Structure 1
Amino acid sequence: MNIRHQHIIQLVSERGSISVSELSQIASVSEVTIRQDLNVLEKGGFLRRVHGAAVAPESDDVGARMRTRYATKKRLAEHAASLVNAGEVVFIEGGSTNALLARELSERQDITIVTVSHYIATLLRDTGGDVIILGGLYQKSSESVVGPLTRICIQNLNFHKVFIGIDGWDALTGFNGRNMLRCDVVNALMAKQTHTVALTDSSKFGQIHPYPLAPECPFSHVITDSDIPDADREILAAQGLQLDIIDIV
């Protein structure tokens, strides 16, 4: 692995995604050379190629994903935390940005947090208010629970706000995910018809995964960063979603 390869891995890890043209400019080499580099790095599992860009490899390891685009995700989590009011019951579903949201809320004694994520519950074990963790089939890779028992738990609880992580969004498919059982949990949450927030960095826009999220009960609110493509922003706004675009310095 040469120095350019190492730099590409670092940029993809920090940003979550980066275009071939930008990598070409940064490295002062042709786009053909960058595409060859990306082929090599994808075979090594260091990144994943999508049309015209490279993205961080998919992983269920929440800790690893938290380190990708950390500064951006932290800003999103800070904004999301500012929306939580005293006395509320807040569901935090899972994912790296939601884990950072849990950290932001960890000192709050005046709220109750409900989650399916054992990773998030562990972050909250020594501080903050009450934490309710639901039952279900434990997915070791994501450290979350899923399945029919989890659905039953969701149906028997009420929430003021629900924060959900997504794996992808596309103008044709809408919000989508890559894990069928996790998507089933999200769809159970969406059926509660409470205030549902998609909390995600902009690298997820333009990505398509097999399983639809909330096809019948759309999100109320989307929080993402200012790198979201303008066309995607306009489509979401036209759908009537509350859209919070956070500027990243």
Structure 2
Amino acid sequence: MNSRQQIILQMVIDQGRMSVADLAKKTGVSEVTIRQDLNLLEKKSYLKRAHGYAVPLDSEDVETRMMNNYSLKRHLADFAATLVNDGETIFIENGSCNALLARALAEQKKITLITVSSYIAHLLKDTECEVVLLGGIYQKKSESMVGPLTRQFIQQVHFSKAFIGIDGFLPETGFTSRDMMRADVVNTVLEKGSEAIVLTDSSKFGAMHPYTLGPISRINRVITDDALSEVAGQQLQDSGVQVNIVKQFPIA
């Protein structure tokens, strides 16, 4: 990695997301050169590229994460939406797949949507969907509510289904999160005993993070894509989890 690439990486980490044009302007080189630098940095797993932007790995920004594998995540969200009936009250936690699900449901169904995500609430501001945004400590990067107040609010509301996001899964650890406060929110939701559905792309499987989501017996269903390994799929089913595989569609 040369000095320019080090500067590019640091700017991306500091800002959370930067466009190719902005990087070219700040470094004084062409956009072609920036793209070459980003390709190298992505190949070495320092960052990710997404639709003209560069983002750090494990970005907390929902919109940034949504741009990664957008088409696939939209297909996952569309499938998840078919599991929800008109008139239901559901909980949607946070994350890019869940944000796409919320938007699909608001456009297709008459539901009440409970969430801790201010990003999701804002995404639905022009729809007719009834949105209940629970309060708490505002976690700015993830645009989500966390903490003891959020836990109390969750305990006082009722919903038939809960869609949650994960950061990792291994059979020896179960589902895991990289954020302790968000893990606490998810675990409070799981304690409610409603149908718990993990909505995620397959990239999270095989990764491990510090904070447990579960136990796994509280997860009813996983919706993911067909890049999930047969071994991971079988491990989930052996744990009593129903697995729905959504096929990836090639880009035309």
Q: Given the two structures, how large is their TM-score scaled by the length of structure 2?
A: 0.79
> Sequence identity, in percent?
47
Whole-Å separation in 2 of the counterparts to 1:109 and 1:85? 7
Measured against aligned partners, the alpha-carbon deviations of 1:157-193 in whole angstroms (never above 9, x if no partner) come to 1101100010111121110000000000000000001
**Alpha-carbon distance, 1:103 to partner:** 1.3
1:226 and 2:226 are equivalent in the alignment: yes
Matched, 1:128 2:124: no
Does residue 70 (structure 1) correspond to residue 70 (structure 2)? The answer is: yes
Q: TM-score, normalised by structure 1?
A: 0.80
Deviation at 1:5, TM superposition (A): 5.3
**Is 2:193–2:218's contact at 8 Å kept on the other side of the alignment?**
no
Give the match's secondary structure for 1:127.
Answer: coil
* CA shift for structure 1 position 119: 0.1
Question: Would the aligned equivalents of 1:109 and 1:128 in 2 still touch at CA under 8 Å?
Answer: no
In structure 2, C-alpha distance between the alignment counterparts of 1:108 and 1:153, rounded to whole Å: 27
Could you tell me which amino acid in structure 2 is paired with residue 89 of structure 1?
T
Quote how far apart the aligned CAs of 1:128 are: 2.6
Structure 1 distance, partners of 2:208, 2:248, is 25
Q: Map 1:144-223; keep pairs closer than 5 Å.
A: 144-215=144-215, 217-223=217-223
CA deviation profile, 1:185-225 (whole Å, cap 9, x unmatched)? 00000000110000000000000000000127520110000
Letter in 1 for 2:124: L
Match of 2:59 in 1: 59
Verify the 8 A CA contact 2:225 2:246 in the aligned structure 1: yes
Cα offset, 1:106, TM superposition: 1.9
Question: Which stretch of structure 1 is more off in the superposition, 180-189 or 119-128?
Answer: 119-128
From the superposition, tell whether residues 46 and 69 of structure 1 become closer, same or farther in structure 2 (CA, over 3 Å): closer
Q: Which residue of 1 aligns with 2:80?
A: 80
Q: Which runs of 4+ in 1 moved over 3 A?
A: 1-9
The corresponding residue for 2:106 is 106
**CA distance in structure 2 between the partners assigned to 1:72 and 1:91 by the alignment:** 22
Shift of 1:238: 1.2
Cα distance change of structure 1 residues 109 and 242 upon mapping to structure 2, 3 Å threshold: closer
Partner letter of residue 146 of structure 1? V
Q: Which amino acid aligns with 2:130?
A: D
For the residues of structure 2 that align with 1:197 and 1:112, how far apart are their CA atoms? 17
1:243 aligns with 2:239: no
TM superposition shift of 1:4: 5.9
State the alpha-carbon separation in 1 of the partners of residues 56 and 192 from structure 2. Answer: 33
Contact 2:85 2:109 in 1 (8 A): no
| Distance in 2 between residues matched to 1:8 and 1:190, nearest whole Å | 41
Q: Given residue 215 of structure 1, which amino acid in structure 2 is its aligned partner?
A: P
- What's 1:139 paired with? 139
* Closer, same or farther: CA 56–245 of 1 in aligned 2, 3 Å: farther
Give 1:6 deviation, angstroms.
Answer: 4.2
Number of residue-to-residue matches in the alignment: 212
The one-letter code matched in structure 2 to 1:170 is: L
CA–CA separation in structure 1 for the residues paired with 2:171 and 2:216: 16
| Cα deviation 1:80-114 (Å, max 9, x = unaligned) | 01111011001010001001101111224621000
In structure 1, what is the Cα distance between the partners aligned to 2:109 and 2:69? 29
Rounded Cα–Cα distance in structure 1 between residues aligned with 2:72 and 2:190: 26
Deviation at 1:229, TM superposition (A): 1.0
Conserved? CA contact 1:197–1:223, under 8 Å? yes
Matched residue, 1:33: none
CA contact (8 A) 2:178 2:210 kept: yes
